[in-house]
């Protein structure tokens, strides 16, 4: 049994689906179901005895303690986080509450649970914390350091430091992963790639910040899931592993690639190109110019490599959104998400 927090979000939801595709080991899935939490992503698991969904907050120490005592997981994988830079700029308090205080309370509940385990179970237990490359800030040198520049990245950096401290101070068996920009199925359509797809198909402007030359490394979400599985299996305690796709590209190139794929896969009836909808908008405050991940440690120590190139992954992603318009419509409807939660039968 494993406990996954934030397992109804984009990466967490993909991880739960991936885990139960390749394993019979049950999952307890704890998610607060904020705006980006979407049980529609997990609807294929309805009635599956291997998956137990619980609606709740990682900051609810009593609930987390109850789940740990009842289900006795051998590992906790923490995806739970507020994760959108723009939202953190306009409302940073939620990010501090979940990413800092929530992580602290989760660590404390897990530490109490772990401390009471038998020696054998203690040795086998793992706490895997999923983080982001944004904690490193805008890269201008070879070796990254923690230099977060937004409320979101600062809150995630704080959570990383808490996890590290709980290992060195209390001996909690932790590993941390820092990933580059994920993309793929079930991505909430406020993020760059799904936003471009959804807006393009709706005939809306495709907003590009500043000059569009901000560089990001792109990682297909299913590759990220395989990396987490590998780190959980064999990662060294207390270590941090960077997970990247070796796909550094300017944002404007990503937008043009999406437009070209849509021109091919869903051409407009009148024959115009989707790129004509690109609109440059005022850059976001403190917008980092370059993120990149060096995943050589993960590859050398644990033998992991991404299976998808950007070209194969982005084609699969665009096709998925074309094939699943109802998911997009549903995720944009808060009333629908509430209905799905009731139908699904969340424990709390």
CB-based burial label for 114 (10 Å; 0-12, 13-18, 19+): buried
Q: CA 101 to CA 82: how far, in whole Å?
A: 12
Helices and strands, number each (H, E), in the chain: 14, 12
Alpha helices in 171-220 (DSSP H): 192-202
- Mark whether 299 is an active-site residue: no
What 8-state DSSP symbol labels residue 227?
A: H
Catalytic choice (40, 134, 160, 217): 134
Q: CA 311 to CA 260: how far, in whole Å?
A: 12
Distance from CA of residue 138 to its chain's centroid? Answer: 20
Catalytic choice (136, 152, 241, 291): 152
Provide CB contacts within 8 A for 57, sequence distance 6+. 32, 63, 98, 102
Residue 32: how many other CB atoms lie within 10 Å: 20
Provide CB contacts within 8 A for 331, sequence distance 6+. 38, 40, 188, 189, 337
Give the E-state strand segments of 126-198 in sequence order: 126-132, 174-179, 181-183
Per-residue CA distances from 257 to 194, 205, 211 (Å): 13, 16, 16
- Mark whether 134 is an active-site residue: yes
Catalytic choice (133, 223, 248, 288): 133
* Residue 98 near residue 81, CB atoms below 8 Å: yes
CB-based burial label for 335 (10 Å; 0-12, 13-18, 19+): exposed
- Mark whether 241 is an active-site residue: no
* Residue 177 near residue 228, CB atoms below 8 Å: yes
Q: Could you identify the residue written with the tokens 């991936």?
A: 18
Give CA angle at 222 (176, 247), nearest 5°. Answer: 80
Catalytic amino acids?
Answer: 133-134, 152
């Amino acid at each position: 049994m494993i406990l996954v927090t934030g397992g109804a979000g984009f990466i967490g939801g993909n991880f739960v689906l991936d885990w139960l595709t390749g394993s019979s080991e049950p999952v307890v899935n704890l998610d607060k179901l904020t705006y980006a939490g979407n049980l529609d992503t997990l609807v294929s698991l309805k009635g599956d005895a291997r998956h137990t969904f619980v609606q709740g907050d990682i900051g609810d120490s009593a609930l987390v303690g109850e789940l740990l005592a009842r289900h006795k997981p051998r590992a906790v994988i923490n995806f739970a986080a507020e994760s959108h830079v723009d939202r953190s700029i306009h409302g940073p308090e939620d990010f501090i509450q979940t990413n800092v205080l929530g992580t602290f309370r989760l660590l404390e509940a897990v530490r109490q649970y772990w401390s009471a385990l038998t020696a054998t179970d203690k040795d086998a237990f793992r706490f895997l914390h999923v983080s982001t490359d944004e904690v490193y800030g805008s890269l201008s040198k070879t070796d990254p350091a923690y230099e977060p520049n937004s409320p979101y990245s600062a809150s995630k950096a704080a959570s990383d430091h808490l996890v590290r401290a709980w290992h060195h101070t209390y001996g909690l068996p932790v590993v941390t992963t820092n990933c580059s920009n994920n993309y793929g199925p079930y991505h909430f359509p406020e993020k760059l790639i799904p936003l471009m797809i959804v807006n393009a198909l709706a005939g809306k402007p495709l907003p590009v910040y500043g000059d569009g030359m901000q560089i990001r490394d792109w990682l297909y979400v299913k590759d990220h899931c395989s990396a987490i599985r590998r780190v959980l299996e064999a990662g060294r305690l207390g270590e941090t592993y960077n997970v990247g796709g070796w796909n550094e590209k300017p944002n404007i190139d990503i937008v043009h690639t999406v437009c070209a794929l849509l021109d091919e896969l869903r051409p407009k009836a009148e024959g115009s190109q989707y790129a004509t909808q690109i609109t440059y908008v005022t850059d976001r405050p403190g917008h980092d110019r370059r993120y990149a991940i060096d995943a050589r440690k993960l590859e050398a120590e644990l033998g992991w490599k991404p299976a998808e190139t950007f070209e194969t992954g982005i084609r699969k992603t665009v096709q998925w959104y074309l094939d699943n318009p109802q998911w997009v419509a549903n995720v944009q409807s808060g009333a629908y998400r509430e209905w799905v939660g009731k139908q699904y039968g969340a424990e709390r």
